[in-house]
Amino acid sequence: MKLLILSNRYYFIALLIVSIIGGVSSYFLIGSIINREFNKKLYAEKNQLIYELHEFDELLNTLYLNIGDRITLQKVDQDPKIHTNIKDTLLFDFYENKESNFRKITFSEQVKGDFYKITISKPLLSSEDMIQVVTKIVAIITLLFFVTMLLLNNIISKKVWKPFYNTLTRINFFNVVDPKPLTFSKTKVREFRELNSTIEVMINQVVKDYKNLKKSTENTSHEIQTPLAIIKNKIEILMQDDQLSEYHLNILNQVHDFVRRLSKLNQNLSLLSKIDNNQFIEAIPIPIGEYLKKRVEDVEELILMKNISVILNLNENPIIKLDETLAYLLFNNLLNNAIKHNINGGKLILTLSNTHFSIKNTGKPLKIFPEELFKRFKKQGNLPNSTGLGLSIVYSITSYYNFSITYNNEDVWHVIELKF
């Protein structure tokens, strides 16, 4: 969620609550004020009427001239002793031609010796009208609030957070393999200045660590090769000694084999870290179909020895840009894997289309979990000449080029599929 949307959401919720509370309370408040004023007016009218009745003789005959309010005068024989009261009532409104709400004040008065029961009725502003008015007012105010807040929020966010977004963009473009010096835009805000300098320090440290690690991995792997060469060569010289018994020679040979294995392991690990560190960047277009044919020719001998029948379904010949070394490792490792784990007289099916490559071979059931197949040092059984890194290298290469790789096992068939 964007920062702006989040803050807008809070503003929206807060404004909504405030407008509801404001709307409801202003409805009641305005209602009660109007009510009080209305009653005051009715009392005032009562006093005015009494005064006028006493002062003007003609008034009793021309009462209806007082337009708007309804006044009734009822002559009664004796003092009705009516306590002045106010009541809401429904009356027919001649102007609007329908029944509407009126408020009526009832009282009695003695005018020129006669007793009168008097009522004054005043049309009430209907409550619906009031709700409408109040709602409208609240709505307009709220709307104004919303618009102002959103505009303000947007402008503020854009202005205030600009250095933050700048920093974010720069971090996004940062690549530890190919680090370019980070130049953050200058800002007056202290927090952002601190953020930038903290990030700068962290990134410098990361770059330094990465370089050190890379260097030490490379150095270690190279430095190991020389002592290995010495061990290997010393054994070879020792092997030439006629005095040695078969028993001694046997042990020497085992050591010799393990030196080879150790060196191979070392080479593969350094290869893996090279791939992971994106050190293969020279891609050339490779026609995969022809390339596969060549790789199969390379291992023809192995195929013959194991009496494996190979089927090549090269339907299409996609041209893909790959580093030459990586392409070789990718297809060679897949092929070797499919041959190594194949059974005598088994089958090997290679299928290639523009988007997919699959390698399908017969073999013994897998003893490890399929999802562990591409992990380092996961081996089927204990094959002495296998480093357990072949498929890890394949996996690293595929993820380097963003290919997806899947493994499936149906009965005797093992299928590895690549999606370019």
Which residues of this protein are in contact with other proteins, per CB under 8 A? 222-223, 225-226, 228-234, 236-237, 239-240, 246, 249-250, 252-253, 256-257, 259-260, 263-264, 267, 270, 301-302, 305-306, 325, 332, 336, 339-340, 383-387, 390
CB of 159 to other proteins, least distance (A): 51
CB of 385 to other proteins, least distance (A): 5
Which residue, 109 or 323, is less far from other proteins as judged by CB? 323
Which residue, 22 or 346, is less far from other proteins as judged by CB? 346
| Residues 6+ positions from 150 with CB-CB distance below 8 Å | 8, 11
CB of 249 to other proteins, least distance (A): 5
Which residue, 256 or 378, is less far from other proteins as judged by CB? 256
CB of 379 to other proteins, least distance (A): 11
CB of 418 to other proteins, least distance (A): 20
Which residue, 220 or 408, is less far from other proteins as judged by CB? 220
Which residue, 187 or 263, is less far from other proteins as judged by CB? 263
Q: How would you classify the pairing of strands 347-352 and 309-314?
A: parallel
Which residue, 104 or 379, is less far from other proteins as judged by CB? 379
Which residue, 296 or 302, is less far from other proteins as judged by CB? 302
Which residue, 201 or 229, is less far from other proteins as judged by CB? 229
CB of 384 to other proteins, least distance (A): 6
CB of 367 to other proteins, least distance (A): 16
CB of 219 to other proteins, least distance (A): 10
